[in-house]
């Protein structure tokens, strides 16, 4: 395991981090460190990369890490290594947050909360029809969150079996990818990795699909304005980029770790600044 962020500043600091493979690209260290610093916490948040999750968790426990964000590819595997997992994470099938306890790591999922809070800034979700592209791990969290908020969710996905499986598991609806235009949603979420760093889309959205009454979110944040969001904006829809979901899931993590409200404005500013810097290096 290696820390891909700054060296730990002092043994007197509480330790937190994001664990994944890769992890060096993560924007979470900038966001979380800004939160610790502005509130005066003696804490350090690192990007931690490993090929062996079990070994890494044991080492981090020994070193006294208090909390961890978990990213790909460990969100499912880490569940088996928790002494306790919250009900939402069990239903979603993934953990993205760990908190150290005297008996081991406790896990929960804040991705679904991040999606809900990002969308509800623009439109109440209770009673709306929401169309979700995707049936992977991220889509599961988004669908669960939308349903918890009272939305009527319809899933569409290139692989129909996965769409059917997710719809059955979370008790919502699905449509074949070639038929999604029949849905008349108020909320649309692109919850696949399509569009990330130029990856191609496996679906085509007609130019007249997006309408001014819609709120459209893409969970991808590199680039910030994906082709999906660009097309939605051209149709007059209100758009939400992937940094908003990342921000709000991080705010929930911060509160769970420290039982204190997170400094939202400072975290958003640090996150957007880090995203611009990351883009400049690309």
Residue-wise over 177-188: b if at least 16 C-beta within 10 A, else e? beebeebebbbb
d(CA 80, CA 128): 35
Q: Say which of 75, 80, 233, 281 is annotated catalytic.
A: 75
d(CA 127, CA 146): 10
d(CA 155, CA 95): 22
Cβ partners under 8 Å of residue 236, min gap 6: 210, 211, 212
Host H or E run for residue 132: strand 129-133
- Placement of tokens 């908003």 in the chain: 244
What letter would DSSP give residue 82?
A: -
* Alpha helix (H) residue ranges in 149-224: 160-170
Q: Do strands 84-85 and 97-101 pair parallel, antiparallel, or not at all (unpaired)?
A: unpaired
d(CA 110, CA 126): 20
Angle between helices 242-258 and 264-281 in degrees, nearest 10: 130
Active site residue 75: yes
Other Cβ atoms less than 10 A from the Cβ of 77: the count is 13
CB contact at 8 A, 188 and 216: yes
Cα distances (angstroms) measured from residue 91 to each of 76, 229, 250 = 12, 29, 20
The CA-to-CA distance between both ends of the chain, in Å, stands at: 25
Catalytic residues: 75
């Amino acid at each position: 395991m290696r820390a891909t962020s700054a060296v730990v500043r002092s043994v007197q600091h509480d330790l937190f981090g994001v664990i994944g493979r890769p992890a060096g690209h993560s924007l979470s260290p900038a966001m979380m460190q800004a939160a610790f610093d502005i509130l005066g916490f003696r804490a350090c948040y690192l990007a931690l990369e490993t090929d062996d999750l079990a070994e890494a968790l044991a080492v981090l426990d020994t070193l006294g890490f208090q909390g961890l964000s978990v990213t790909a590819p460990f969100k499912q595997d880490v569940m088996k290594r928790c002494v306790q997992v919250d009900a939402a994470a069990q239903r979603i099938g993934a953990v993205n947050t760990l908190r150290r306890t005297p008996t081991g790591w406790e896990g929960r999922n804040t991705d679904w909360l991040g999606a809900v809070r990002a969308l509800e800034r623009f439109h109440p979700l209770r009673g709306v029809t929401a169309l979700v592209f995707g049936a992977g791990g991220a889509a599961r969290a988004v669908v669960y969150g939308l349903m918890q908020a009272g939305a009527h969710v319809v899933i569409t996905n290139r692989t129909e079996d996965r769409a059917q499986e997710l719809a059955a598991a979370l008790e919502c609806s699905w449509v074949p990818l070639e038929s999604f235009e029949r849905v008349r949603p108020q909320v649309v979420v692109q919850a696949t990795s399509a569009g990330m760093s130029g990856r191609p889309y496996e679906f085509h959205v007609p130019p007249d699909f997006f309408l001014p009454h819609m709120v459209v979110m893409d969970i991808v944040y590199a680039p910030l304005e994906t082709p999906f969001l660009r097309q939605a904006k051209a149709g007059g829809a209100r758009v939400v980029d992937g940094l908003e979901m990342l921000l709000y899931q991080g705010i929930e993590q911060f509160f769970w770790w420290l039982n204190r409200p997170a400094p939202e404005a400072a975290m958003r500013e640090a996150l957007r600044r880090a995203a611009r810097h990351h883009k400049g290096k690309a």
